[in-house]
Amino acid sequence: MIKYVGKRLLHLAWIMLAVSFLTFLLMYLTPGDAASKKLSAQGVAVSEEVLMQTRENMGLLRPFFIQYGDWMLHAMRFDLGVSFKDGFPVAEKLWKGLKNTAILMVVSILLSLLAAVPLAFLAALKKDSVFDHGIRLISFVGNSIPNFLISVLLIYFICVRAKLLPVVADKSVRGLILPCLALSIPIISRFVRQFRAEFLEQLGKPFVAGARARGVKEFYVLRDVFHNASINILTIVGLSVGTLLGGSVVIETIFRWPGLGKLAMDAITNRDYPVIQGFVLLTCAIYVTVNLITDISYHFIDPRLRER
């Protein structure tokens, strides 16, 4: 196991190197730079002289490999530099964004699992019933509505019409309700469809028919079905972490939640290379680590994997 983990962590280093290089290259080739974005942030025209001086100060006039090499040398010493936009340490900005995104992500995934697992299980057990069709239809609709529309509808009905929650929420539990709901609705819808398919596959397996034929109590049959399906469920959840890390930018903007998604989007808009590079490294590390944890957890869930 230790050898396996070590090997995966070695892969992580290579992946991070490749991803950081590709990202740096892509940003370098993309028109526009941090200096012009910073100087014209409020729509004020600046002279070419001021622009060039700012580029010089930011080190943007250096050749590509010098810029990348310089960044990489610092990154290897865990120094991600400072943001071009405001001069604040990138690590500090990422940590703040990560904390906020993690809160949103963990709560949303928990909420999604709490709703999706029983619904999918029941829909699979009552396949082709009215309940099943209803769940499938709702999950289809929930999956189709874009995040921003769900957010706006939630705000309109819950805050403006019913006045149950404020639009201007802080980072308290009350402030967490709407963004988590907005984020969870599409996830629940997707999970329900994926989990239902997984449960159905397990329910159709010969061991289920065999167990039932032997008169095994239904509770134990379903427990085994659930157990067997849990490996793929875990994979689906693990993969959705990556989506949630960068994909909640709309939610973060609408609900004023300063997370990683919004940080990354702002950094891209402002061509803030140090922040973009830091974000890419962080998400890459999280994504690979979550998947590693998911893979390791298979060993706990499936004894056959432990024997291999």
Partner 1 sequence: MKKLAKFSKLLVILCLLFAMTACSKASEESSAQGGQSQSAQGAQGAQGANAEPKLIRLAESFCYTSLDIHKDYYGWYTSIYGVSETLFRVADDMSIKPLLAKEYSVSEDGKTWTFQIADAMFSNKTPLTADMVSRNLQRAARENERFAYLASFTYATEGEKTLKITTPDIYPTMLSDLTAPELGIMDLDNTTDFDNAPVCTGPFVIKSFEPEGTVVVEKNAAYWNGEVKLDGAMFYYMQDDETKLNAMQAGDIDGYTSVTAAAKQILAADPASYVLTEIPATRLQFYVLNKNRLDDKVRQAVNLTVDLNSIADFLGGTVSPAVGPFSAAAPYGKVTKPAVDTAKAKSLLEEDGYVMGSDGYYAKNGETLTLSIGYYAARSLDSIAVLMQDQFKNVGIKAVLNVQEDPDSTYVATGEYDVALYCMIADKSGDPYYCCDALFRKGSKWALAGFANQKCEDLIDQLQYETDVNQRAKLANQIVQMSIDDNAFGYVGLFNKTTVTAKGVTGIAENCPFDFYGVSADTDVNK
Q: Is 145 in the site for partner 1 (CB under 8 A)?
A: no
Residue 196 found at the interface with partner 1 (CB under 8 A): no
Min dist CB 207 to partner 1, Å, is 15
Q: Is 38 in the site for partner 1 (CB under 8 A)?
A: yes
Closest CA to 120 of 206, 229, 13: 229
Spatial distance between the Cα atoms of 304 and 236, rounded to a whole number of angstroms = 20
166 lies in the binding site for partner 1 (CB under 8 A): yes
Chosen residue from 167, 208, 216, 290 binding partner 1 by CB under 8 A:
167
Structure tokens, 226: 């659930």
CA distance 186 to 144: 8
Any idea how long the chain is?
308
The answer to whether residues 284 and 17 touch, using CB atoms and an 8 Å cutoff, is: no
Q: Decide: is 26 part of the binding site for partner 1 (CB under 8 A).
A: no
By CB under 8 A, is residue 48 in contact with partner 1? yes
- 3-state DSSP assignment of residue 82: strand
Q: Of the ranges 1-9, 186-194, 199-207, 296-304, which one interacts with partner 1 (CB under 8 A)?
A: 296-304
Determine if residue 18 is left, alpha or beta; phi over 0 gives left, psi from -120 to 50 gives alpha, anything else beta: alpha
Q: Considering only residues 13, 173, 209, 305, which one is a binding residue for partner 1 as defined by CB under 8 A?
A: 173
118: contact with partner 1 by CB under 8 A: no
Helical pair 90-125 and 130-144, crossing angle rounded to 10 deg: 160
What is the total count of residues that contact partner 1 (CB under 8 A)? 56
- Nearest residue (CB) to partner 1, 88 versus 140: 88
For partner 1, give the closer residue by CB, 39 or 125. Answer: 39
- CA 185/CA 35 separation, integer angstroms: 40
For position 220 contacting partner 1 by CB under 8 A, the verdict is no
Helix (H) or strand (E) holding 176: helix 173-203
- In angstroms, the CA 135 to CA 146 distance is 19
Select 18 or 153, whichever has its Cβ closest to partner 1: 153
Among 81, 238, 256, 290, binds partner 1 (CB under 8 A): 256
Dist CA 220 CA 45 (whole Å): 72
The verdict on 21 binding partner 1 (CB under 8 A) reads no
Residue 286 DSSP one-character state: H
Please say which residue, 272 or 288, places its beta carbon nearer to partner 1.
Answer: 272
Is 42 one of the binding residues for partner 1 (CB under 8 A)?
yes
Place of tokens 């070419």: 48
| Residue with smaller CB distance to partner 1, 50 or 137 | 50
Listed residue (241, 138, 258, 257) closest to 186, CA to CA = 138
The reply to whether 102 sits near partner 1 by the rule CB under 8 A is yes
Binding residues (CB under 8 A) for partner 1: these are 30-33, 36-48, 50, 53-54, 57, 85-88, 99, 102-103, 106-107, 110, 152, 155-156, 159-160, 163, 166-168, 170-173, 175-176, 227, 230, 253-256, 258, 297, 300-301
